[in-house]
Chains A and B, each alone.
Chain A
């Protein structure tokens, strides 16, 4: 496999992980643009553990993700008191705080960046990406998934039905941060060098865009969004720095023409309805509806 192709695949896998990190809070109606901060926590914590304590990178990444989730859990209550644009601003500020803190922590390199000695290979990165997609899909096939979407649709009614609205919101926020932390750990151990500048608000917004462009209504939306918008700039590589202009233009056009994202629930349902009508085995509609 060529180095370039491998590089693109790594980027794709990491972006998919990030996208599912953004999907969880978005599905619960939270616009989190501080995800890069949580990715940074996962990246730095895992790098520090594997550098300093020779923890196996896999374990280090999981511990980094858990730390990221715990930080999210700690700040969730005050942050989630805000709504809509204010929640977006609060998470933005949170991302900035985390980045500023890392810049000031000399034991992880501060502004100079932090080299990571351990290295994980492509199959492990891909394995993690697949694992995240599968686990999040399974999670959304449970009552939890329905509750998350119910909370987004109508908090008041969900509450009256006995749904622990606050708990669901905190869980979605923290699990999203954990997954972003996994993405950060993968990035650190794959690229061998991390710096606080990489985990800026631009990264957070790009991650959220993957999900919104792919569509927030289905489990496949983040996958499609991350894939298309990771590969698109690569396909346009010939045009050098103009490719980012093309990317931005594509974002504007898509949001104008298709605000619900590329993939919608209705589309998948129609697809499955067609398959249903044309297949003799008509049972597994549980799965069909879940994926749709």
Chain B
């Protein structure tokens, strides 16, 4: 496969019951790129994220990160291979403060059981605490450090989630609909922030997003999915011109297919809440 790839998804399939959500999907993400994963509802975008981060096992195929096969390693160890993510519906820990949420993000770097005893909340000038504080300040969120996250505006929560993921010092950041639910100002703020991370931090971004303006502004590579299959990839402009993509999104003049409800979201919730 391509030598410049940081993430390689190869011939991955995933079924839920009789329903095939991802089918023989192959794509790769170039190191240092900002890549978008788009497609209509139910195309399998979030499922791909869940397969990459290890929430679900794949049925077939392989996932390689930095050349290392991570297909079968436990989800909690994948962050050590450089993959961190955010969630479609913000998932901060509601009973922790903003700063504590960000400190949780450092966990994979804290060094096993000895790291568990870092006195992060005991010593005012603790190194880890200061690092988390600086990261918040860097994202323009210093004022929220002590707030309980539940009370904060949605746009702020989304940015905190990004900061938390960054604390793992990932090489690849998976962003699941980062702009959803944000107002236009918040969207531009987020886009500039992510651009800065990618350009100055050397971070690779893989973004699931419906907002095509946001995708066009942020990403240079686009992968289009429909019903779990890749139907196109290329630059945002090329994708816009692509006949097949237009049909999938807008329907053919003859018959407009109705997108089915997304069954993977039900499965996802079940898995997430351990029921």
Residue of A146, A152, A284 with most partner-chain B CB within 10 A? A146
Residue of A140, A145, A159, A285 near B146 (CB, 8 A) is: A285
Residue of A144, A154, A163, A266 near B76 (CB, 8 A) is: A163
A146 & B91 in contact (Cβ 8 Å cutoff): no
Interface residues on B, range: 35 or more
Residue on B nearest A145 in the bound complex, by CB: B121
Q: How many inter-chain contacts with C-beta < 8 Å in the A-B complex? A: 121
Residue of A142, A152, A162 near B79 (CB, 8 A) is: A162
B100 & A146 in contact (Cβ 8 Å cutoff): yes
B124 & A287 in contact (Cβ 8 Å cutoff): yes
Segment 243-292 of A: residues with Cβ below 8 Å from B:
265-266, 269, 283-287, 289-290
A152 to B94, CA, bound (A): 10
A149 & B93 in contact (Cβ 8 Å cutoff): yes
B95 to chain A, nearest CB (A): 5
B91 to chain A, nearest CB (A): 5
Kindly list chain A residues whose C-beta atoms are within 8 Å of the C-beta of B99: 289
A179 within 8 A of B: no
Known contacts A143-B116, A149-B93; A269/B107 CB under 8 A: no
A149 & B96 in contact (Cβ 8 Å cutoff): yes
B168 within 8 A of A: yes
A177 within 8 A of B: no
B121 & A290 in contact (Cβ 8 Å cutoff): yes
Kindly list chain A residues whose C-beta atoms are within 8 Å of the C-beta of B106: 143
Kindly list chain B residues whose C-beta atoms are within 8 Å of the C-beta of A162: 76-77, 79-80, 107-108, 168
Segment 108-124 of B: residues with Cβ below 8 Å from A:
108, 110, 115-124
Kindly list chain B residues whose C-beta atoms are within 8 Å of the C-beta of A287: 121-122, 124
Kindly list chain A residues whose C-beta atoms are within 8 Å of the C-beta of B54: 160
A141 within 8 A of B: yes
Kindly list chain B residues whose C-beta atoms are within 8 Å of the C-beta of A283: 124
A138 within 8 A of B: yes
A contact face: mostly helix, strand, loop, or mixed: helix
Known contacts A157-B87, A161-B108; A286/B75 CB under 8 A: no
Kindly list chain B residues whose C-beta atoms are within 8 Å of the C-beta of A153: 93-96
A6 within 8 A of B: no
Chain B window 58-94, contacts with chain A (Cβ cutoff 8 Å), 1 for yes, 0 for no: 0000000000000000011111100011010001011
A118 within 8 A of B: no
Residue of B55, B80, B118, B124 near A143 (CB, 8 A) is: B118
Known contacts A152-B95, A284-B124; A161/B55 CB under 8 A: no
A136 to chain B, nearest CB (A): 13
A286 & B122 in contact (Cβ 8 Å cutoff): yes
Kindly list chain A residues whose C-beta atoms are within 8 Å of the C-beta of B95: 149, 152-153, 217, 265
A134 to B4, CA, bound (A): 53
Chain B window 136-159, contacts with chain A (Cβ cutoff 8 Å), 1 for yes, 0 for no: 000000000010100000000000
B168 & A286 in contact (Cβ 8 Å cutoff): no
A135 to chain B, nearest CB (A): 12
A237 within 8 A of B: no
B124 & A285 in contact (Cβ 8 Å cutoff): yes
Residue on B nearest A164 in the bound complex, by CB: B76
B110 & A143 in contact (Cβ 8 Å cutoff): yes
A105 to B272, CA, bound (A): 44
B272 & A156 in contact (Cβ 8 Å cutoff): yes
B103 within 8 A of A: yes
B93 & A141 in contact (Cβ 8 Å cutoff): no
Kindly list chain B residues whose C-beta atoms are within 8 Å of the C-beta of A160: 53-55, 75-76, 78-79, 84-85
Chain B window 198-213, contacts with chain A (Cβ cutoff 8 Å), 1 for yes, 0 for no: 0000000000000000
Residue on B nearest A171 in the bound complex, by CB: B116
A195 to chain B, nearest CB (A): 39
A43 within 8 A of B: no
A141 & B104 in contact (Cβ 8 Å cutoff): no
Chain A to chain B contacts (Cβ below 8 Å), 23 pairs: A83-B274, A138-B119, A141-B119, A141-B122, A142-B116, A142-B121, A143-B103, A143-B117, A144-B116, A147-B116, A149-B100, A156-B91, A160-B84, A160-B85, A161-B76, A162-B77, A162-B79, A162-B108, A162-B168, A284-B124, A286-B124, A287-B121, A289-B146
Told that A83-B274, A289-B121 touch, could you supply 5 new A-B pairs with CB distance under 8 A? A140-B121, A146-B120, A157-B87, A159-B75, A162-B107
Closest 10 CB pairs of A and B: A162-B108, A286-B124, A153-B93, A141-B122, A290-B121, A141-B121, A143-B118, A144-B116, A162-B107, A162-B79
